[in-house]
Structure 1
Amino acid sequence: MKKLIFTAAIAIFGLSNAQTFGLKAGANVSSVSNSDDSKAKFGFYAGAFVNVPLAESFSLQPEVLYNGKGVKYDGPGDGSTNLDYISVPVMFQYKATPQFYLEAGPEFSFLISAKDKWDGGSEDAKDFINGFDLGIGLGAGYDFTPNFGANIRYVAGVTDIAKENEDDALRNGVFQFGLTYKFGK
């Protein structure tokens, strides 16, 4: 029993030392599928991540992000729908080279705010938007130094964001590009 506990303690200590913690932030270009007369909306994302190596070229990177999404409308009654989420992407990464990686995985998003804005007015839209959004992310990144890097990612929504929707599903889509900073490298 002592050997098992000792082996588990060494494995946990080794894994915790192998992890890399970091911060990331950047710009979002988001849209909502099947929304008439809509255009992309610019926003931002920011948060933290931990990169856990699984093998020499593979790692798992869970993240916690503030994520500003939504859509803009043109024409009579110009306006926008602003959707603020706390997102938890879990990216599986493959290092193609020591600096360049590809990534894919699910993103679980939890709605914290929804506002419809138009010429001079706004209203809370949270009652019309589902509180959970699932997306699938696909991206790439490049580490310029051991601490600084850049990444791009597209997250395609899987779930309908509108409550009680009888029409075509409304799904978030967001293109992200930003910078990363890793601690302790």
Structure 2
Amino acid sequence: MKKLLLFIAVTVLSFTAAQSQEFRLGAKAGLNVASLGGDSYGVGSLGSRTSFHIGGLVEIPLMGKFSVQPELLFSSEGSNWTFTGLDDNLKLDYVRVPVLAKFYIIEGLSAEAGPVFGVLVNAKNDDGDDIKENFKTFDAAFGIGASYRLDMGVFFSLRYNKGLLNVNEDYEEEGISYSYKNQSNVFQVSAGFSF
């Protein structure tokens, strides 16, 4: 009986050690080129806003060439609104949780796709006014992209997050009701390290 328990313990520890070699923790940061798709705000146009994202990730191997990669990111998004020569940046800051399925095409190169959930933590215009009440707290997008990881643990990735939900709340200002339908779309270029 003792030999059986010892054998099971050694087998479980060996399996755990083998699995932990593939389990990776990492950190990443990069550039966002964000925009709001959908309605423009009256007369004018919505352009892109350049900002950043930063956070951490865990890569969990599943089987063969497949793995899952949940992330926790701070992502600064929004848009640039242009109206007759006037510019106004709309800054929307989210805590994002992408949960991506990854498939390794060749060693180091992977394609990734999956849902990207977000919680709005800050919304401001160029004047610094807090306009968070005009936007919904929860957001969801679909992310698709690719990553390349070098042997030393440094990786680079490209991703596009296509917004799925309307980020605007209906609101009233000076007796006028506003109802806009916009989705947060973000192109991301990242660099990071995982071990």
CA separation in 1, counterparts of 2:124 and 2:10?
53
TM-score by length of 1: 0.87
The equivalent position to 1:72 in structure 2, one of 77, 80, 102, is 80
Alignment partner, residue 171 of structure 1: 183
TM-score by length of 2: 0.83
Q: 1:144 and 1:125, CA in 2 relative to 1: closer, same or farther beyond 3 A?
A: same
- Structure 1 position 6, deviation (Å): 8.9
2:107 partner amino acid: P
Give the Å deviation of 1:173.
Answer: 0.2
Bigger mean CA offset, 174-183 vs 138-147:
138-147
Alpha-carbon distance between aligned partners in 2 of 1:152 and 1:65, rounded to the nearest angstrom: 15
State the alpha-carbon separation in 1 of the partners of residues 114 and 17 from structure 2: 27
Structure 1: segments with no counterpart, 5+ residues: none
2:168 to 162, 165, 168: 162
From the CA coordinates, give the structure whose radius of gyration is larger.
2
Identity of aligned residues (%): 29
Which of residues 14, 37, 48 is equivalent to 1:33?
A: 37
Instruction: Sort the Cα spacing of 1:130 and 1:72 in 2 relative to 1 into closer, same or farther, 3 A.
Output: same
SS of residue matched to 2:165: coil
Pairwise CA distance, 1:158:
0.6
Going from structure 1 to structure 2, the CA distance change for 1:161 and 1:11 (only over 3 Å counts) comes to: farther
Q: Does 1:87 align with 2:96?
A: yes
| Distance in 2 (alpha carbons) for counterparts of 1:5 and 1:123 | 60
Distance across 1 between alignment mates of 2:137 and 2:73: 16
Question: RMSD in angstroms over aligned alpha carbons?
Answer: 2.4
**Cα deviation digits, residues 65-98 of structure 1 (max 9, x gap):** 0101000012344211100011000000000000
Which of the residues 117, 127, 133 maps onto 1:127?
Answer: 133
- Within the candidate set 124, 148, 151, 1:145 is matched to 151
CA–CA distance in 2 between the matches of 1:125 and 1:19? Answer: 41
Q: Is 1:47 aligned with 2:55? A: yes
Counterpart-to-counterpart distance in 2, 1:13 and 1:97: 24
What does the per-residue CA deviation read over 1:143-165, in whole Å, with 9 as the maximum and x for residues that have no partner? 23341111000000111101127
- Say if 2:169 and 2:179, in contact at 8 Å, map to a contact too: no
Give the aligned partner of residue 113 of structure 1. 122
Q: 1-side partners of 2:169 and 2:10: how far apart? A: 51
1:139 CA drift (Å)? 0.3
